[in-house]
Amino acid sequence: MVQERRILYEHLDVPDINTFEVFRQHDGYTRFEKAIAEYQPEELAQMVWDAGLKGRGGAGFSTGEKWSFVPRDIEPRYLCCNADESEPGTFSNRYVLEKNPHLLIEGILICCYAMGIETTYIYIRGEFTLGKKMLDAAIKEAYEQGYLGENVRGTGLNINIYSHPGAGAYICGEETGLIESLEGKRGQPRNKPPFPAVQGVFMKPTVVQNVETLCNLPFIVGNGVEWYTQMGPTYGDARFDPPKPDPNTGTKLYCISGDVNEPGVYELELGLTCTELIEVAGGLRGEEVKAVIPGGSSAPILTHYELDTRLDFTSLTLAKSMLGSGGIIVMNETRNIVDCLLNIMKFYAHESCGQCTPCRWGTPWVRDIVQRIADGEGRQTTVTRPKFGITESGRWGDTGETEEIYEDLDLLENVANNIANVDTMTWNTICVFGIAVSWPAVSYMRKFRPEFEAAIRESKLVTLSVAEATVPPEENYAYQQRIIPKEMADLE
């Protein structure tokens, strides 16, 4: 039985940990003091790189590498903390904000010191009223205790934090959408390049980090790189010779919801399989697993054939899915995948910012097609395909074979792929919202095609058994190319 490995959440349940005094008693701010006393800023940035910390917000981009893009000669630079946690199925940052906001502040302090940043904006989701209240109280306390403001604890650093509530848009969780919104404009993502690391908030170099990423920093500084890299697997990228290390180190706050007995946030080392994770969450509620969404609603779905996929950044990428924000939704045999897709597509059609053409008009279209199928109005055509061969009369010609075509399924796949092509991983949109729409649409449809076909054929939603509903991997190219065996992990 896998055990939780609580690091970020270690003191989450300590009463009054949100107050400075209690936080201080549990090593609070000692890591920041250690960072200032023992390391130069550049050393800290290198440490984060060496630790292999990957951004926890969704993209899984190496934090150290991101910091290396920030030009250190342009002033001012900004840190933008992304607390606009709005991916359906994700609720880990919320606990940090509501229960242990000082941990985030400490992470911000370390990042600010490492990157020479004086101003931090925390863009917090507007719906997190309690989170914002707790965070603001913590920031106030930190100011009072001299950890924020002018000349922090006599070190000569000036660090200010401003918390800014969002106005309720999913797209403001995208880093450039967040920056636009923070600047007071419509929350619409920017074209990249330039990336925020070069031109971010107010067109100045900006580090944008998720709450969870920043909360990892105190532990990397406090316990050292070696301690950190022991957690989670490090793979080797075989395209390079020798294989380039691809670290998936540290812990992840997995938000497990859906058909499990004990849903909630579990802090686990990266690299566990789906099956293990379901066990941690008290086991499955129901007979058998039908599907698992591994990383928030925009991640491609996993079938019961793929439950041995390891839930880390690299393995899930190779399985043509993603860890994303770690919002894991488990579905048992009673769930109808068409219905699930409709639910998700309604969300995306509502949340498209409308800036670029494919997403603005493609997303509601995809929703409408799924709605049509779910309403039992999906189109199915029996066509005669001119298949040439020896006909009954013994002559060469059209054999007149017929085939049933599910027009709406083809249309659904085609429209979704035109927003963002999931096979080539290319998108015609400005931001990755496009792929967040077409990924679920296409993967649900390909992997659970019998259920979609049944809905069209029988003109109503039909929930098939798990075995009937799922397309086996050998018949479908939507599945992973390969799963990294556990032995291959730990390159050292």
Partner 1 sequence: MALVKLNDLEIEVEDGTNIVEAAREHDIEVPHYCYHPGLSRPANCRMCLVEPYGPIPGAPPGTIGPARQLATGCTLTVRSAPPERKLEEKFDAIIRTDSDRVIKAREDILEFLLVHHPLDCPVCDQAGECDLQDFSYRHGHDKSRYLEVKNVPPKKDLGPDVLLYSTRCIVCTRCIRFCDEVSGSGELGLINRGSHDEIDIPRSHEGTPIQLLDNKLAGNVVDICPVGALISKDFLFKSRPWFLEKANSICTGCSVGCNVTVEYKTDGLYRIKPRFHEDINQHWMCDDGRLGYHYVNSDDRLQLPQKRVDSELVTTQWADALTLISENLSEVEADDIVVIGSAQGTNEDNYVLQQFAHDVLKTTQLGLFGQEPGEAHKFPQFTIEADKNPNTAGARTILGSANGNVVLEDDALWEKVAGAKVVYLVSGCPERPLQDTEKDALEKVEFLIVQDILPSEVTQLADVVLPGTTFAEKDGTFTNSSGWVQRIRKTIDPPGEAQADWEITQQLAKRLGGEIDYHFAGEIAIAISENVEGYGDATHQNIGDAGIKLT
Give the integer Cα–Cα distance in Å for 181 and 253. Answer: 27
Q: Which is nearer to partner 1, 169 or 455 (CB)?
A: 169
The Cα-based distances of 307 to 278, 311, 352 in angstroms read: 10, 10, 31
Residue 362 binds to partner 1 (criterion: CB under 8 A)? yes
Residue 191 binds to partner 1 (criterion: CB under 8 A)? yes
The dihedral sign for the CA sequence 220, 210, 326, 265? positive
Q: Which is nearer to partner 1, 54 or 372 (CB)?
A: 372
Residues 204-243, interacting with partner 1 (CB under 8 A):
239-240
From 351, 413, 451, 453, residue interacting with partner 1 (rule: CB under 8 A): 351
Residue 430 binds to partner 1 (criterion: CB under 8 A)? yes
Residue 325 binds to partner 1 (criterion: CB under 8 A)? no
- Applying CB under 8 A, the span of 2-10, 76-84, 104-112, 427-435 interacting with partner 1 comes to 427-435
Spell out the residues 6+ positions from residue 454 whose beta carbon is closer than 8 angstroms to its own: 462, 464
- Applying CB under 8 A, the span of 67-75, 82-90, 107-115, 417-425 interacting with partner 1 comes to 417-425
Shortest reach from residue 177's CB to partner 1, in Å: 12
Burial code (b: 16+ CB inside 10 Å, e: under 16) for 66-87 equals bbeebeeeeeebbbbbbbbbbb
Give the integer Cα–Cα distance in Å for 157 and 115. Answer: 12
Shortest reach from residue 253's CB to partner 1, in Å: 30
Q: Which is nearer to partner 1, 24 or 192 (CB)?
A: 192
Residue 354 binds to partner 1 (criterion: CB under 8 A)? yes
Q: Which is nearer to partner 1, 3 or 481 (CB)?
A: 481
> Residue 27: which of 216, 218, 214 has the closest Cα?
218
> Residue 164: which of 95, 88, 89, 79 has the closest Cα?
79
- Applying CB under 8 A, the span of 159-167, 221-229, 357-365, 450-458 interacting with partner 1 comes to 357-365
Give the integer Cα–Cα distance in Å for 109 and 36. Answer: 10
From 169, 374, 456, 469, residue interacting with partner 1 (rule: CB under 8 A): 169
Shortest reach from residue 52's CB to partner 1, in Å: 20
Kindly state the number of chain residues that form the binding site for partner 1, as judged by CB under 8 A: 33
Residue 391 binds to partner 1 (criterion: CB under 8 A)? no
Residue 428 binds to partner 1 (criterion: CB under 8 A)? yes
Give the integer Cα–Cα distance in Å for 116 and 98. Answer: 28
The Cα-based distances of 76 to 210, 426, 454 in angstroms read: 21, 34, 59
Residue 364 binds to partner 1 (criterion: CB under 8 A)? yes
Mask of contacts with partner 1, 105-124, x by CB under 8 A?
A: --------------------
Residue 59 binds to partner 1 (criterion: CB under 8 A)? no
Query: Taking a C-beta distance cutoff of 8 angstroms, is the pair 42, 70 a contact?
Result: no
Residue 185 binds to partner 1 (criterion: CB under 8 A)? no
Give the integer Cα–Cα distance in Å for 481 and 443. Answer: 14
Element (H, E) at 78: strand 78-83
Residue 213 DSSP code: H
Reading the block at residue 58, the tokens are 């969704």
Shortest reach from residue 286's CB to partner 1, in Å: 35
The dihedral sign for the CA sequence 301, 305, 307, 308? negative
Residues lying near partner 1 in the complex (CB under 8 A): 169, 186, 191, 239-240, 349-358, 360-365, 368, 372, 411, 415, 418, 424-430
